[in-house]
């Protein structure tokens, strides 16, 4: 059985109204033949991620790894500058391996209720992820653009916290659909 690790922050770790992480629970329903490990830690940024990547990802010898960071890196109160963020994403790809890495851009926020981040700043972080994907050849999902292109994207961002950042079931459905589609593309070669 193949191993898929979802590496990220509270978006990856989020449980909403469940006893388990929504992302990996929904993915388990959609893709068979994978042991799916959730390696999301709330509050983490890319500096924290690099400090735990060997223990939480590399030592488990995964076949594929989703990498979704940026919401905390882009937050005004804990901001990791853009070039450091991009270098950290690049280091993750190098450690995991290009063929095994699926880079995912951070999602937009609902600015009417989210005050620690703006979509303008998040767009630059999303673009930094895209640049690393192009440069390294890692797999890539532009979650930011996909989400923002939906006319009612703010509704998709509404979860139990209703903070404009931590989305609910609808937002996870979109993310899971994008990841599953990417995994199927990778499997086809």
H/E run at residue 51: helix 46-56
SS3 102: strand
Report whether 102 contacts 139 (CB < 8 A). Answer: yes
Instruction: Give CA–CA dist 5/14, Å, rounded.
Output: 15
Q: Which residues pair with 39 in a beta bridge?
A: 7
- In the chain, what are the domain boundaries? 2-188
What are the tokens at 56?
A: 């939480």
SS3 78: coil
CB within 8 Å of 19: residues ≥ 6 apart: none
Q: Please report the pLDDT score of residue 43 as a whole number.
A: 96
What is 2-188's CATH topology? Rossmann fold (3.40.50)
SS3 69: coil
Q: What is the mean pLDDT of residues 163-168?
A: 92
Whole-structure pTM value: 0.97
Q: Please report the pLDDT score of residue 78 as a whole number.
A: 85
Phi-psi region of 177 (alpha: psi -120 to 50; beta: other; left: phi over 0): alpha
Task: Give residue-wise pLDDT tens across range 81-108.
Answer: 999 999 999 999 999 999 999 999 999 9
Instruction: Let me know if 119 is exposed, middle or buried by CB neighbors in 10 A (0-12, 13-18, 19+).
Output: middle
Q: What pLDDT band is residue 17 in, cutting at 50, 70 and 90?
A: confident
In the 8-state DSSP scheme, what is residue 20?
S
């Amino acid at each position: 059985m193949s191993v898929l690790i979802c590496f990220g922050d509270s978006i990856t770790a989020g449980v909403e109204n469940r006893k388990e992480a929504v992302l990996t629970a929904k993915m388990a329903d959609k893709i068979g033949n994978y042991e799916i490990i959730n390696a999301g830690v709330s509050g983490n940024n890319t500096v924290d991620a690099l400090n735990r990547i060997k223990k939480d990802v590399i030592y488990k010898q995964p076949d594929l790894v989703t990498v979704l960071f940026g919401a905390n890196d882009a937050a005004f109160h804990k901001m990791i500058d853009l070039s450091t963020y991009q270098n950290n994403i690049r280091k993750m790809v190098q450690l995991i391996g290009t063929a095994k890495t699926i880079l995912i851009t951070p999602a937009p926020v609902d600015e009417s209720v989210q005050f620690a981040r703006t979509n303008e700043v998040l767009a630059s972080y999303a673009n930094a992820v895209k640049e690393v994907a192009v440069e390294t050849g890692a797999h890539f999902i532009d979650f930011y653009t996909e989400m923002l292109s939906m006319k009612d994207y703010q509704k998709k961002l509404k979860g139990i916290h209703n903070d404009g950042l931590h989305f609910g079931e609808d937002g996870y459905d979109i993310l899971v659909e994008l990841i599953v589609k990417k995994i199927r593309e990778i499997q086809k070669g």
